[in-house]
Structure 1
Amino acid sequence: MKDKIIALYGIPVGFLLLGFLFLIIGANGEGLASFFSRPPGAMEWSISNNAIKAFKFVPTALGITFLTLFVSAFSISFYTWQKNVLRDIDNETEKG
């Protein structure tokens, strides 16, 4: 039974973790933009506003998308699990 639950909820949990990961990356977008736009050996450099926006909004949008996928996949998995549990209960009542 435990393997069935892991198989059933593995994909939704993966979407949840990816969603949180991308939201955290998006929250740290300014620091990441600064890190990736720094030329090697430079002491001073400038970061374009568009780079900062890209490092903030793209991961945030991906995170929201993965969280939406989590809700959808979890709903389908939960419905399937409930349907299987009810079918098992019906089979037990018919036998007993």
Structure 2
Amino acid sequence: MLFAVHCLDHADALPRRLANYDAHKAHLAQGSVKTVISGPLLAGDGETMIGSLFVFSAETIDDIRAFNAADPFNAANVWQSVSINPFLMRVDNRN
């Protein structure tokens, strides 16, 4: 099943985000859940990172909650809010 995870950063999170970026990438690559897509959310200037967006594949929402809780960005208090919802992909135009 797919899950969308939408995370918004604390206003002062950029230094913590940058300091934990390599650990965050390693976490996403570890494979306890499959990362379908991921990337930073940007402010209106198209450059300033203000959050994260993920689509993960996993068996249960609890798998996603545990995976997200173990993310170094979460441990570093980068995210102010996290929303996790099941996601039904109807269109995929990547091919």
Bin the TM-score by the shorter chain.
Answer: under 0.3
Q: By percentage of residues, which structure has more helix?
A: 1
TM-score (norm 1): 0.25
Which structure shows the bigger proportion of residues in strand conformation?
A: 2
The normalised TM-score by structure 2 is 0.25
Higher RCO (CA < 8 A, seq sep 6+): 2
